[in-house]
Amino acid sequence: MSEFLRYVLYELKNSLVLVLLAGVLAAAGLAVAFIVHKKKYKGQRKFPWGKVFLWLLFLGYLLIVIYATMDRWSGFFHREWNFHLFRAWREAWNNYSVKNWANVLLNVAMFGPLGFLLPLMGKKFRKWYVTIPAGFGTSLAIELFQLAFGRGICDVDDLFCNTLGAVIGYLLIMTILSLIGKKGKKLKPSLVFGCLMFATIMAVCSVFIVYECKEYGNLPNAPAYTNNTSGTVWTLGCELPSVEGEIAVYKTQTRSIEECDAFGEEFRKLVGADYTTISYYQEAAYYMDQAGDENGTHFLFVSYLDPSYEYHCGFGDDPVWADGEREAVEASLSHLPVYIPEYAEFDVEGNGWHTFTVEQHIDGAVMVDGTLRCRYAEDGTIREVQNNLLSYTYHEKVSVISPEEAFERLCDGKFNDGGFFEVERPNDVTVLSCKLSYRIDTKGFYQPVYLFELSSKDGSYKDWIMIPAMK
Kindly state whether residue 425 falls inside one of the protein's structural domains.
yes
Q: Are residues 372 and 425 in the same domain?
A: no
Assess whether 391 and 420 both reside in one domain.
no
Residue 219: inside a domain: no
d(CA 431, CA 456): 9
Average pLDDT, the chain: 86
Mean pLDDT within 443-460: 93
218, 414 contact by CB (below 8 A): no
pLDDT given for residue 61 in this prediction = 84
Residue 342 burial by Cβ neighbours in a 10 Å radius (0-12, 13-18, 19+) = exposed
Would residue 209 count as lying in a domain? yes
Integer Cα distance of 331 and 349 in angstroms: 18
Tell me which long-range contacts 83-88 makes (C-beta under 8 A, separation of at least 24).
83/156, 84/156, 84/157, 84/224, 84/225, 85/156, 85/157, 85/160, 86/157, 86/160, 87/157, 87/224, 87/225, 88/155, 88/157, 88/158, 88/161
The last residue of a domain, from among 345, 374, 395:
395
The band of 22, judged by pLDDT with boundaries at 50, 70 and 90, is low
Instruction: Quickly state the pLDDT bin for 191 (edges 50, 70, 90).
Output: confident
Within a domain: residue 225?
A: no
Structural domain including 453 reads 233-244+400-468
Whether residues 83 and 141 share a domain: the answer is yes
The answer to whether the beta carbons of residues 154 and 82 sit under 8 Å apart is yes
Assess if residue 226 is contained within a domain.
Answer: no
For CA atoms 103, 107, 113, 116, the dihedral sign is: negative
pLDDT at 373: 97
Does residue 461 sit within a domain? yes
pTM for this prediction:
0.77
Least confident of 48-62, 110-124, 210-224, 235-249: 48-62
Express as a percent the part of the chain with pLDDT over 90.
51
Residues 376 and 438 in one domain: no
pLDDT tier, 96 (very low <50, low <70, confident <90, very high otherwise): confident
Whether 415 and 376 map to the same domain: the answer is no
Q: Where among 354, 369, 395 does a domain terminate?
A: 395
For residues 420 and 371, membership in a common domain is answered with no
pLDDT in the model for residue 7:
57
Whether residues 204 and 89 share a domain: the answer is: yes
**Band of residue 9 on the pLDDT scale cut at 50, 70, 90:** low
> Do 318 and 416 fall within a single domain?
no
Residues 402 and 243: their CA atoms lie apart, in Å, by 7
Q: Is 241:451 a contact under the CB 8 Å cutoff? A: no
**Residue ending a domain, choose from 395, 421, 452:** 395
Q: Model confidence over 325-345: pLDDT tens digits?
A: 999 999 999 999 999 999 999
Please tell me whether residues 185 and 330 are part of one structural domain: no
* 221 part of a folded domain: no
389 shares its domain with 258: yes
With CA atoms as reference, report the closest residue to 218 among 332, 93, 59, 117.
93
Between strands 445-455 and 428-440, the pairing is antiparallel
49 and 111 share one domain = yes
Does some domain include residue 411?
yes
pLDDT 10s digits, 385-403: 999 999 999 999 999 999 9
Question: What's the domain count of the chain?
Answer: 3
Neighbours of 427 (CB within 10 A): 13
Whether 292 and 376 map to the same domain: the answer is yes
